[in-house]
Amino acid sequence: MGKRSVPERLAALAVLESRVEPGHRSYSGIKSDLEMRLAGFAGEKKADFYLEEARVKEKPVVLKDVMIPSGIKHVQVDTLVLHPAFILVLEIKNMTGELHFDEETGQFYRVKNGVREGMRNPEDQLNRAVIATERFLASIDLPVKVHGAIVLASYNGLIVQGPVSRPIFPVDRLPGHVEKLEKENRAILRRSDLHYVDDTIKLLSREKQDQYFKWYNLTDIDIELGVRCPGCFKIGMERGHGKWSCTDCKTTSTDAHHATLEEYRLMYGEEITSKKMRDFIQVPNLYLANRLLRERFPTANKNKRNKRYQIKPDLSLLEPFINHLLYRK
Ligand SMILES: [Zn+2]
């Protein structure tokens, strides 16, 4: 089914949160957005685990963090399960506290430690995702009904008042739900259809660069420069004798700049010049910056004086850093 890779936006927030001064006016916003995405990601990973447990005759194709085209916009779907007998959209919530779906007002709120807090209604989010997915499938000549469910990834989330139109259940019930859908529905899609949906979504959602600097009111001087240590994840490794070393935890590395360049890509896009490289990874000379770039990436232009290199996206380089954030609590 494939491992869920680190979502791009979560990785970008983790990079920003660690490189922007806590005193910056946007810092608390970045930090709370990061915490929210980390919790969401932890929930999605849990759901992946349980999906694998389902005892089904036909193995589903599971798509993660996909953008479904909807008019001129996109609707984000955490998990989309494609099976010959059913299509299922999962809205995964990693929430704690007592959860209330108010049928009359359409409001959603939770009560935690006696405090009532209004939030975006997951049922509305799910309905929007289901409708967008149905429309999208119809537009590629696969007019099928799409199912939806809300999955609670945290056992500390208690449903006091459930949603009206959609099932909701704790994550360990997910295998049973998928098995039931297979049993109750007739196969309507061929395996080739499932792959066609997968390919089309991937093609359409090839993402444009997100505008983090604009969203958080940041400029270049707000970003701390330097190579991140692969041992303790602090920024500012020193270069010497052909390798990087951390003055803090004494870790040494020959390729720590690879992950740091992936951080650069998340913030600034895929192109980099040797001058920008020199500044970002804090090496003393352009010659070294050039060499480190040349041995890894192709040039993006022919101009000799102002050579630009193309950073090849590889989010797996940031997985150790993200896992460190996930499990540090
Ligand atoms: Zn270190």
- CA gap 97, 114 in Å, rounded: 10
Task: Provide the 10 A C-beta neighbour count for residue 141.
Answer: 8
In tens, the pLDDT along 224-264 reads 999 999 999 999 999 999 999 999 999 999 999 999 999 99
Q: What separation in Å is there between the alpha carbon of 324 and the centre of ligand 1?
A: 13
In tens, the pLDDT along 175-223 reads 999 999 999 999 999 999 999 999 988 887 665 556 889 899 999 999 9
Distances (CA, A) of 12 to 20, 212, 261: 12, 8, 12
Q: What separation in Å is there between the alpha carbon of 248 and the centre of ligand 1?
A: 5
In tens, the pLDDT along 111-162 reads 999 999 998 899 999 999 999 999 999 999 999 999 999 999 988 888 988 8
Q: Model confidence at 329, in pLDDT bands (50, 70, 90)?
A: low
* Per-residue tokens: 169: 């259940």
Q: What separation in Å is there between the alpha carbon of 265 and the centre of ligand 1?
A: 22
| CATH code of the domain occupying 225-327 | 1.10.10
For the whole model, what pTM was predicted? Answer: 0.83
* Distance from the Cα of residue 163 to its chain's centroid: 26
Q: What separation in Å is there between the alpha carbon of 228 and the centre of ligand 1?
A: 8
Kindly list the domain boundaries of the chain, sorted by start residue.
8-204, 225-327
Q: What separation in Å is there between the alpha carbon of 43 and the centre of ligand 1?
A: 29
In tens, the pLDDT along 34-92 reads 999 999 999 999 999 999 999 999 999 999 888 898 887 888 898 999 999 999 999 99
- CA gap 107, 289 in Å, rounded: 54
Q: What separation in Å is there between the alpha carbon of 211 and the centre of ligand 1?
A: 30
Ramachandran angles phi, psi of 229, nearest 5°: -75, 130
Within 8 A by CB and 6+ apart from 115, the residues are none
Q: Indicate the pairing of strand 252-253 with strand 243-245.
A: antiparallel
